[in-house]
Amino acid sequence: MSTLEQASDTFYRALNTMLTGDVGPMLEVWSHADDVTYMSPFGELLVGWETVRESWEKQAAARLGGQVAAEELRCFSSSDLGFVVGFERGSVKVGGVTQPVNIRATSIYRLEGDRWAMIGHHTDPLS
């Protein structure tokens, strides 16, 4: 069985892969249930797997490039729910211009079978 820390590491690897245009690993990280939520750094609240999947596919299609690293992560879990809080820092290219990434993030996971599947990701850009 994977640990919550391993699930978080997998998410951040998938995030950086998605920045190159490959959405596949990101789609595998998530639960495909109707109760998943994503509050993206773009200010939207997305509910349900199909809506969340579409958002990640659009982000991958933009091929933003760059790199995002997790910092100061703290993981907490019960027998079947867990959450990870911390910061996402790095840079991406928007319209050919490098933009800094400085985000406060919370990820929520649910144990599904033998793996921690993401059921929520909430991000807020820091000034």
Output the DSSP codes for the chain. Answer: ---HHHHHHHHHHHHHHHHTT--HHHHHHB--STT-EEE-TTS-EEESHHHHHHHHHHHHHTT---EEEEEEEEEEE-SSEEEEEEEEEEEEEETTEEEEEEEEEEEEEEEETTEEEEEEEEEEE--
Q: Express each pLDDT in 90-125 by its tens digit.
A: 999 888 889 999 999 999 999 999 999 999 999 998
Residue 110: beta bridge partners? 81, 117
Predicted local confidence at residue 49, as pLDDT = 98
Q: Express each pLDDT in 46-67 by its tens digit.
A: 999 999 999 999 999 999 999 9
From 100, 106, 38, 36, select the one nearest 73 (Cα to Cα). 106
Predicted local confidence at residue 1, as pLDDT = 61
**How many residues are recorded in the chain?**
127
Q: Express each pLDDT in 77-87 by its tens digit.
A: 999 999 999 99
User: Considering the domain 4-121, what is its CATH architecture?
Assistant: Roll (3.10)
- What is the reported pTM? 0.94
Mean pLDDT of the chain: 95
